[in-house]
């Protein structure tokens, strides 16, 4: 996983790229495991090390939005998403199931689509049994992103990027609590906050007119963008993302 200014993806098979663009969240999680599972278990067995990678990339996403220099935003957003998939794989979180449970086509706080102006997102989510579930047209990553854009049409670039970092901090806090006590309710919070991170990654992409799945396919359809293998064998731990000014 290397910075765009350092590495260019290998030219992939267009049909394979098209297949990746249509993948579900579970499909992308599986592709990440295929590409990096062995390396991640060898080099990143401690979830904290993966958290640092997510923070480094999503921090750059926020900075690029704040300073209005978004040339490298698609790459950094994809890298942050990829490392979030890696975290889910290490922790054995089924992101597909959890994402659609948390966002069943409506806002989990007010139960509406689009989210109502009277929604109090700081409060506890309403029970799933109380939600009038809207059928999600597609379980693809692209479909999930479109659904969130429909539910939250008033998202702004800086607001989405800021919320993304807030949720990432909450993942770190939840992970800290869980690794200290290893209690199931604490792990449930790790799961829910991780889902919120990918939701805000999708929201940030939508605010910039980006199709996250398409951008991911450009980078990873040829395998690892460093070694171009479908089972990464390179030392990607040395990646240093370029600064943004």
Residue percentage of the chain with pLDDT more than 70: 83
229 or 116: which leads in pLDDT: 229
Mean pLDDT of 186-215: 96
Q: Are 141 and 148 in contact (CB under 8 A)?
A: no
- What angle (nearest 5°) sits at the alpha carbon of residue 127, between those of residues 121 and 130? 105
pLDDT digits (tens, 9 = 90+) for 165-182: 999 999 999 999 998 888
132 or 61: which leads in pLDDT: 61
Q: Which pLDDT value is given to residue 109?
A: 86
Q: Report the DSSP beta bridge partners of residue 140.
A: 24
Q: Which pLDDT value is given to residue 181?
A: 85
Q: Token pair 């978004």 is at which residue?
A: 70
Q: Which pLDDT value is given to residue 244?
A: 63
Q: Where are the domains of the chain?
A: 14-118+136-233
Quick one: pLDDT band at residue 15, thresholds 50, 70, 90?
A: confident
pLDDT digits (tens, 9 = 90+) for 47-105: 999 999 999 999 999 999 999 999 999 999 999 999 999 999 999 999 999 998 889 88
The CA-to-CA distance between both ends of the chain, in Å, stands at 22
207 or 240: which leads in pLDDT: 207
Residue 102: is it exposed, middle or buried by C-beta count within 10 angstroms (0-12/13-18/19+)?
A: middle
pTM of the model: 0.88
Rounded Cα gap, residues 144 and 198, in angstroms: 10
Q: Which pLDDT value is given to residue 89?
A: 96
- Mean pLDDT taken over the chain: 86
11 or 149: which leads in pLDDT: 149
Longest dimension (CA), the chain: 51
């Amino acid at each position: 996983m290397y910075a765009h200014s350092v590495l260019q993806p290998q030219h992939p098979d267009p049909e394979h790229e098209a297949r990746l663009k249509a993948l579900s969240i579970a499909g992308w999680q599986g592709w990440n495991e295929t590409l990096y599972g062995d390396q991640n278990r060898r080099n990143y067995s401690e979830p904290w090390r993966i958290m640092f990678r997510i923070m480094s990339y999503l921090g750059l996403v926020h900075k690029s939005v704040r300073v209005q220099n978004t040339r490298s935003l698609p790459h950094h957003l994809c890298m942050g998403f990829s490392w979030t998939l890696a975290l889910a794989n290490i922790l054995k979180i089924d992101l597909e199931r959890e994402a659609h449970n948390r966002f069943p086509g409506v806002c989990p706080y007010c139960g509406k689509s689009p989210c109502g102006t009277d929604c109090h997102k700081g409060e506890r989510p309403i029970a799933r049994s109380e939600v009038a579930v809207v059928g999600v047209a597609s379980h693809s990553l692209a479909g999930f992103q479109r659904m969130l854009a429909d539910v939250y049409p008033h998202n702004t670039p800086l607001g989405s990027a800021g919320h993304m970092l807030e949720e990432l901090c909450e993942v770190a806090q939840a992970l800290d609590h869980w690794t200290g006590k290893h209690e199931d309710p604490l792990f449930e919070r790790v799961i829910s906050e991780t889902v919120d991170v990918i939701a805000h990654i999708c929201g940030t992409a939508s605010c910039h007119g980006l199709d996250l799945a398409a951008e991911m396919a450009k980078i990873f359809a040829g395998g690892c963008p460093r070694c171009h293998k479908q089972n990464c064998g390179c030392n990607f731990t040395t990646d240093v993302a370029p600064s943004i000014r």
